Structure 1
Amino acid sequence: MPGIIRRYVRVVDRLSDWAGWLAAALIFVMIATLLLDAVTRNVINMPVHWAIEFTQFTLAAYYFLGGPFTLMRDDHVRMDLLYASLSARGQARLDLITVWCLIFYLVVMLMGGISSLQYAIETDERRFSMWNPSVIPIKALMVVCLVLMLMQAFSLVFKHMATLRGEEIA
C-alpha cells in the first residue's frame, strides 16, 4: 500500500483511539452527575433538575464517540457461524462487502445528521424541560462522530484490501 494510505490509516486509528478514551472518561462524568443528583435529591432535599438530562446527553456522546473506537478495534458484533471458518483472506473479502454497506449507511446517517444540525441551528432548538438546554452541541458532536466513523470505515477498506494483497497496515 502507498505511504499516504498507511499514514491515513495511522492518523484515523489514532483519532478513533482518542475518541474511545474520551468516551471511557465520560463514564466517570455520568457517575459523578448521577451521584450529585442522588445526594442533592435524597440527602439535602434540593434536587438539581438538570442532572438526569445532562446524563442523557453524556450517554449519547458516549455512544457517538464509541462508534469509531469500536470499528477500529474490530469489536462490533458479527455472526461467527460462517465467518470464523473462513481464511483471513476470505474474512477480508466478506469484510470488504459489509464495510461498503456500512459506508452507505453512514453516508445516509450523515446526511440526516447534517440536516438535523442545520435545523437546530436555524431554530435554536432546545429540549422542552425545566433546564431547557440547546441540542446544538450534541447534534454537532453526532455529525463529527459520524464523519470520524466514515473515515474509520474507509480505513477498514484499506486494511482489508491490504490483507487481500498479503500486506499488513498498522
Structure 2
Amino acid sequence: MAVSRAIDKLNDSIAAVVAWALLLAVLICAGNALVRYSLNMSSNAWLEIQWYLFAAVFMLASPHTLRRDEHVRIDVVTGRFSKRTQVWIDLFGYLFFLMPVCWVILYYGFPFGLESVRNGEMSSNAGGLIVWPAKILVPVGFALMILQGVSEIIKRVAYLRGQLDASAFTKHATSPEEEIEAIKRANQIN
C-alpha cells in the first residue's frame, strides 16, 4: 500500500501543476483570439503553445483521472453486479487492456520522442516552436499511466484480500435522490 500511496501522491502532484497549464492555455487562447480579430495579427507559435499545453493537460492529468475513478466506464452494465464482481472486472480491465496498451504505446512512444529530442525537431509552420516537448509527453504520460495502473491493481487486490475498503478507490457519485434533496435544501435557503 505504501507504493500505491506514493504513486497516487506523485500523480496528484503532477495534476495540480498541470491544472495551471490549462488556465494558461485558456488565457493564451483568449488573448490570441482577441489579437487576431481586433488587430488582424496572429502567430503560429501562439497556436502551437496552446496545442502543447492542452497535450500536457491530457497526457499528464489522465493518470489522476484514473486514480479518482472518473474515467469512462460501463457503469450501466457493471453497476448491477456486487462490489466484489466490479473489482474483479476492474482488475481484468487493468491487467488485460490498460497495462498492455500503455506498454505498447510507451514502447513505441519512447523512441518517437527521443528521436525528436535528438534531432531538435522544429515545427514545419512558419514561426513555429520546437516539437520535441510535445512528443516527449507521449512516453512520459503513458509511463505515469502505467504507474497509476499498478497503484489501482494494488488497491483492488488489497480490497479482495479484505485489507482495504472500496471507498479508497471509488468516487462518491451522488444518487438522483441525493441531488433532489440538495436542490430542495438550496431552495429552502433562498
Q: How many residues align?
A: 165
2:123 alignment partner in structure 1 = 127
Choose 79-88 or 59-68, whichever is displaced more.
79-88
The separation in 1 between residues aligned to 2:37 and 2:89, in whole angstroms, is 53
Give deviations 1:123-150, integer Å, cap 9, x for gaps.
2222210123221112223222211110
The separation in 2 between residues aligned to 1:132 and 1:50, in whole angstroms, is 5
Give 5+ residue unaligned stretches, structure 2. 169-190
The alignment yields a C-alpha RMSD, in angstroms, of 1.6
3-state DSSP class of the match of 1:43?
helix
1:76 partnered with 2:78? no
2:35 alignment partner in structure 1 = 40
1:11 alignment partner in structure 2 = 6
1:61 partnered with 2:90? no
Instruction: Find the partner of 2:44 among 28, 31, 49.
Output: 49
Choose 150-159 or 72-81, whichever is displaced more.
72-81
Identity rate of aligned residues, in percent? Answer: 28
Q: Is the 8 A contact 1:40 1:48 kept in 2?
A: no
Q: Is the 8 A contact 1:19 1:68 kept in 2?
A: no
TM-score w.r.t. the length of structure 1 is: 0.89
Q: Is the 8 A contact 1:110 1:146 kept in 2?
A: yes
Give 5+ residue unaligned stretches, structure 1. 1-5
Which protein shows a greater Rg?
Answer: 2
Which residue identity does 2:17 align to in structure 1?
L
3-state DSSP class of the match of 2:21?
helix
3-state DSSP class of the match of 1:47?
coil
Larger relative contact order (Cα-Cα within 8 Å, sequence gap ≥ 6): 1
After superposing on structure 2, the runs of 4+ consecutive aligned residues of structure 1 that deviate more than 4 Å are none
